[in-house]
Structure formats: C-alpha cells, structure tokens
C-alpha cells in the first residue's frame, strides 16, 4: 500500500499539480498554520478554533504543521515560544518548521553585529518580549553586544533547543510544506536552506509544477493564495489580526482563521 501510494503521488507530480487533485494522506487531517510573528493572542485563539474544528473528526491522525516565523514584529515572541514548547492540543501530532526570522534570531545570539540588521525587521520587539531594552534608543555596537549577552543569559533552554532543532520542510501526501517556497527546476529533495527560508519572486511567479503542491508562508497577503502549484498561508497576522490554518483532508481544502472561523472552499484546480 505504501509503495502504491508513493507511485500515485509521483504520477500526480509528473502530470502537473493541476491535473489530478492533490490529496492528504488517508485518514489524516492536516492543519498548516501561517506566520505567527509574535502574536500569542491570535495563536491561542486559533488553537481553540482548531480544537473545536477537530471534535468528531473521523481522521485517525490530526497533525499541526507550523510554517515558521514564530518571532519578531509582534510584541509576544517569548509568549509564543512558551506556548509552542508546551502542551498544545491533546492528541495532535506537531511539526514545527524553521522560518527566516528564527534563523535571524539564532544569528544574533552568535553575532552582535547582526543585530543592526535584525533590530529593524522585528528583532527589537522580540528582545523587548524577553525584557531586553538596551537597543530601544541605541545603535551603539557596545549596546548590541550587551543585548546579545543578556539575551543568551535569559533565553530559556527550552526556547533555544526548540529554535535550534527546527527542520526546513516536511511532506505529507501530495503536499510539501516549507517556510518560503522552493527553487523552480530543482527537485524537492535537493532544495537548499537559503531558498526554503528566503525565496520570493522566482517561486511566487512560477507556473511550473514542483512535483507536489507547496504550502508556504513568508509572503503576507490579505487572503490565502491558491495556485495550482502552491498555497500561500501567511495572512500578515501581526498587522491584520488574521492568523490562518489551512485544513487539508483527502482532496478537500478549507480554512480556519481568527476572526473568521471555518471557511469551506470549492475544490481547487
């Protein structure tokens, strides 16, 4: 059965993402969650909505897939990591993927000079969430070093371990999950970290089949983006207040969102 299932998946990829509807694995419901960016309030709401959505679910497996960018921009990055490293929804499997903002946080822990870049695309808010204020009104290199040292002191071991162990991608059925996207023309198993965390236009503008439907975050839009070869789930939660989970079960797709509940979708091409 596993061999047959893998053959069907490869055939779908060869025929093109839009030729045969993509399927999640049998008896499995997937919840792919977009960029959180320090909005623990929205994360708590969304997890409650997902738990309610899953009640009475006939699927044998419920899997949460977080697409990365847990930290920065919003004011509750520490709280987000507290929640993600704790107990979420009983009975759910969990997959946490790495985003470019997690990469940036880790880089600052080892290199104070990188803080000059990180500070201005969300790192300052993350430092504030851990009680680190040295950089609020300063760009002095000595203050960056003080902030880095302080951050290394106060960052909980559970948070550091979580951040250091994040994988770059995962596959379920006909879907490939990663933070930013993939490089067109390169096999999924040969994608490099820089593209999986950072790619934009070359991926977003491509109409090519990637072999599987790529589910990603990284590029915020007001609404979830559905294409035959990809689905973008980042709805800019830290700005819009809308944090999105894409629900995949069989060939069906729908959304669970803060402020919107469950949104059924017509079968996508």
pLDDT digits (tens, 9 = 90+) for 51-104: 999 997 888 999 999 999 999 999 999 999 999 999 999 999 999 999 999 999
Can you give the pLDDT at residue 89? 95
On the question of pLDDT at 259 being above 90, the answer is no
Can you give the pLDDT at residue 19? 61
Can you give the pLDDT at residue 8? 46
- Residue 241 forms part of a structural domain: yes
Structure tokens, 9: 């998946």
- Residue 48 forms part of a structural domain: yes
- Residue 159 forms part of a structural domain: no
- Residue 233 forms part of a structural domain: yes
On the question of pLDDT at 16 being above 50, the answer is no
Domain count for the chain, please give it. Answer: 1
Q: Which domain holds residue 216?
A: 22-106+168-264
Least Cα distance to 80 among 18, 149, 163, 140 occurs for 163
Predicted structure pTM score: 0.90
> DSSP letters along 144-194, please?
HHHHHHHHHHHS-HHHHHHHHT--SEEEETTEEEESS---TTS-GGG--HH
Residue 251: give its domain's CATH number.
3.60.21.10
Choose between 36 and 19: higher pLDDT.
36
**What mean pLDDT comes out for the span 115-138?**
95
**What mean pLDDT comes out for the span 108-136?**
96
Q: Is the dihedral of CA 178, 175, 230, 225 positive or negative?
A: negative
At 190-216, the pLDDT tens digits run 999 999 999 999 999 999 999 999 999
């Amino acid at each position: 059965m596993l061999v047959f299932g893998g053959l069907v998946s490869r055939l779908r990829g060869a025929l093109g993402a839009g030729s045969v509807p993509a399927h999640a694995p049998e008896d499995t419901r997937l919840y792919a969650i977009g960029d959180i960016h320090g909005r623990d309030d929205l994360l708590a709401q969304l997890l409650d909505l997902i738990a309610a959505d899953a009640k009475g679910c006939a699927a044998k497996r419920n899997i949460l897939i977080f697409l990365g960018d847990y930290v920065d921009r919003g004011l509750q990055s520490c709280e987000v990591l507290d929640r993600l490293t704790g107990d979420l929804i009983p009975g759910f499997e969990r997959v946490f993927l790495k985003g470019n903002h997690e990469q940036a946080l880790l880089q600052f822990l080892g290199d104070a000079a990188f803080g000059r870049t990180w500070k201005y695309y969300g790192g300052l808010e993350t430092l504030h969430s851990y009680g680190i204020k040295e950089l609020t009104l300063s760009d002095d290199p000595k203050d960056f070093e003080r902030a880095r040292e302080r951050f290394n002191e106060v960052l909980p071991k559970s948070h550091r371990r979580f951040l250091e162990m994040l994988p770059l991608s995962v596959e379920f059925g006909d879907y490939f999950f990663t933070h930013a996207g993939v490089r067109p023309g390169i096999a999924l198993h040969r994608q490099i970290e820089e593209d999986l965390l950072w790619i934009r236009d070359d991926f977003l503008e491509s109409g090519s089949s990637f072999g599987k439907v790529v589910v990603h975050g990284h590029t915020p839009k007001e609404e979830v983006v559905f294409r035959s070869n990809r689905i973008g789930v980042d709805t800019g939660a830290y700005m819009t207040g809308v944090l999105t989970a894409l629900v995949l079960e069989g060939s069906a797709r729908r959304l669970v969102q803060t402020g919107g509940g469950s949104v059924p979708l017509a079968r996508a091409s």
